[in-house]
Amino acid sequence: MDAEALAKERAAEYLKGGGGTVEPSSAKLYRVRVDARLSDLLNQDAPLSEQPAVLDRLRAAGFDFDPQMSGYEAYGELMRQRRGMQGASAALKKTGIPGMTYKDSGPKTGNTGTPNYVIFDPKRITILDKLLAMFTAGAAAKSAQEP
């Protein structure tokens, strides 16, 4: 059974009250195509030294960040220099860095987090499908009832 069929089956079980388990992290609202390579995104969870394409673009634009600084720290410094998120994001976009990625804190089950993406230019995003909105609403309702 493919992932989409399994998700639909789990959603149906939950909505029928059949005791199916639903995890909000398994729900997706959209399937998209992003016109950007992952290696071109600022990874907030990794040091700049592990992101050569990003570090090269930052240096070419005149930013002199320590390569051992994390992407998170670099973005924080840009926010300080550019007076907030909007200015920092605009500076990255101007250097040719199309967005950034980071992992969320993950659920309480010990997961190391799921990847999240921020893309600065909406023209780089194409929505291919809208998926499982009802499933997501059910999962959100279940999550709201849990302590």
pLDDT 10s digits, 78-121:
999 988 899 999 999 999 999 999 887 655 455 567 788 889 88
Above pLDDT 70, what percent of the chain?
Answer: 64
Contacts of 115 (CB under 8 A, 6+ apart): 101, 102, 103
Its pTM stands at 0.65
What's residue 145's pLDDT?
A: 42
The separation between the first and the last C-alpha atoms of the chain, rounded to the nearest angstrom, is: 32
Among positive and negative, which fits the CA dihedral 76, 86, 100, 22?
positive
